[in-house]
Amino acid sequence: AGGAVDPVDFLKQPQTILRVTSWIFSIVVFGSIVNECYVNRDSQDPELLCIFNQNESACSYGIAVGIIAFFGCIFFFVVDLYFQQISSVKDRKRVVLLDLGFSGFLSFLWFVAFCFLANQWQRTTMSKGISQGADAARAAIAFSFFSIITWVALAVKALQRYRLGTDMSLFATEQFAADAGAPYPGYPTGSGIESTETYQSPPFAETLDANPKGYQVPAY
């Protein structure tokens, strides 16, 4: 805890790469929907309709999930950056569990988004206006699917971090917390054979004297 973070090593971590990739995918999804997935039914109708079977819910859902993933990636990117600065064991566990829960939740949302958008796109009747935004619609569907993979991978990485934490290799600090109720750490298990080098002599053994000063053994 409290160690300096090497930016190069941090950016090379698989979790950081997955986080940045998920962030880019979210931009592609909601950016494609916002910019090109609202089209006119025909040249004479100025009203903009969602390209996915004219279902406003499909576009709104894709945009919402993309924005949630966008800000979620930024938040957890910062958390990962300052994770080594967190000295509290409990706070580290909470962060990892939050990451695990959020990544699993986003995986589910992206799965629903992919199924929803793909289903509505199959039901869409092609027209001149819709064909202009067809590439953007396909991109939104494709990157929704890719986002499922990256967020599942993030959930797996968070689960691995939590399991490492239960082995005290992640959540351990350099010094034990000054907690009166905390149990004292146990001794390591030995081979069962006593060694004179391992154990010290009993307490006060060096101060014992067979004939203490001021006392004489009476003669009988």
Find how far residue 141's CA is from the centre of its chain: 24
- Two tokens at 212? 């203490």
Residue range 55-68, pLDDT digits in tens: 999 999 999 999 99
pTM (whole model) above 0.85: no
| Residue carrying the six token digits 């003669």 | 219
Is a pLDDT exceeding 80 seen at residue 219?
A: no
Inter-residue contact 18 to 160 (CB < 8 Å): no
Largest CA distance in the chain: 131
Residue 71 and residue 11: Cα distance in Å, rounded? 19
Question: What's the first-to-final CA gap in the chain, in angstroms?
Answer: 69
Q: Say whether 39 sits in a helix, a strand or coil.
A: strand
Which residues, 6 or more positions from 54, have their beta carbon under 8 angstroms from its beta carbon?
41, 124
Residue range 61-119, pLDDT digits in tens: 999 999 999 999 999 999 998 888 888 888 889 999 999 999 999 999 999 999 999 99
